[in-house]
Amino acid sequence: SADSWGKLIASNYLEKDSKPVWKNDKAHDGWIRKVSLSPDGKLLATCGTDKLIKVWSTADGALVKEFKDFSWDPLSVAFTPDSKAILVGDLQGKIAQVDTLTGKKLRELDASAMYKLDRLQDVGGVRCFAFDSKGEKLACGGINPNRGGFVQGPSLVIVFDWKTGKEISRIQSGSENDGYVYDLLFITDSILAGVSSGQPGNGKVFFNLMGETQPFINLATMPNCHSFALHPAGKKIAVVSTNANSSGNGKVLDKNKDYATNHSPINILEIPT
């Protein structure tokens, strides 16, 4: 797990209140934006607001590699299926494929539709990645931003042919309140699922058939979804959302005229057959 102060921790989830297996209080100078586990389970990649990409050993938390010289804020990282490269998605909508060992940039994919300069504000960026099981398709998630400030725009997913690097399809939501796609999963090689979070109280869980531009399932009952995970059996997903009626900042009086704090419930959903 990682936090907005730059701490990276490995914990034993089978032991209640266990001490960390290892931790690094200063893994990054500031917010750790994303953590990605390599397919072989041996490495972690992280990116932060310090504009650094770091690779760690999962065994002991030792720093293996550090890559810098990124001109734009990296917002997402992911290992390629063979673990030989790391994808870095930045604020400007660029996706860099860099060699895991050397940090050399191998190629760049274009997701610039996820970026907008609005007056003096840079908004958007590539927020997440997902590969299909064959490693043939790469999906990235973000937003098609219409304006800055309280950023608004329809959710946007761009799917690339991994071999050629060419865009093959786009999935865009219908409402500018839907906001950013923060997580993506290939449920099967033909079904892509994602979660989004937009203006307070908005956000969705969606399922798309590859090649289709609109979801065949679009759940809006869980506001401001920001992460989810597929059960190993493939029959359920866990969705992390925000509590309802929070107005985004907790400033809603309860019956005792107290300001209730926000929380993030984990919702378990069954996948339809």
C-alpha distances out from residue 104 to 68, 97, 215, Å: 11, 8, 37
d(CA 172, CA 154): 6
Higher pLDDT, 249 or 68: 68
In this predicted structure, what is the pLDDT of residue 54? 97
* Confidence grade of residue 110 (pLDDT, cut at 50, 70, 90): very high
* Confidence grade of residue 272 (pLDDT, cut at 50, 70, 90): confident
**Residue 247 clears pLDDT 70, i.e. is over it:** no
**Residue 250 clears pLDDT 60, i.e. is over it:** no
* Confidence grade of residue 44 (pLDDT, cut at 50, 70, 90): very high
**Residue 270 clears pLDDT 70, i.e. is over it:** yes
Q: Secondary structure of 154-201 in the HEC alphabet?
A: CEEEEEEECCCCCEEEEEECCCCCCCEEEEEEEEECCEEEEEEECCCC
CATH of region 1-85:
2.40.128.630
* Confidence grade of residue 249 (pLDDT, cut at 50, 70, 90): low
Higher pLDDT, 155 or 11: 155
CATH of region 111-273:
2.130.10.10
d(CA 113, CA 128): 15
Supply the pTM of this predicted model.
Answer: 0.89
**Residue 248 clears pLDDT 70, i.e. is over it:** no
The length of the chain, given as a count of residues: 273
Q: Computed from CA positions of residues 175, 178, 179, 180, in that sequence, does the dihedral angle turn out positive or negative? A: negative
d(CA 130, CA 121): 28
**Residue 231 clears pLDDT 60, i.e. is over it:** yes
Mean pLDDT of 61-73: 93
| All CATH 2.40.128.630 domain ranges in the chain, comma separated | 1-85
Contact 50, 29 (CB under 8 A): yes
Q: Computed from CA positions of residues 7, 10, 11, 13, in that sequence, does the dihedral angle turn out positive or negative? A: positive
Least confident of 20-34, 111-125, 244-258: 244-258
d(CA 249, CA 266): 19
In this predicted structure, what is the pLDDT of residue 246? 61
| All CATH 2.130.10.10 domain ranges in the chain, comma separated | 111-273
How much is the mean pLDDT over the chain?
A: 91
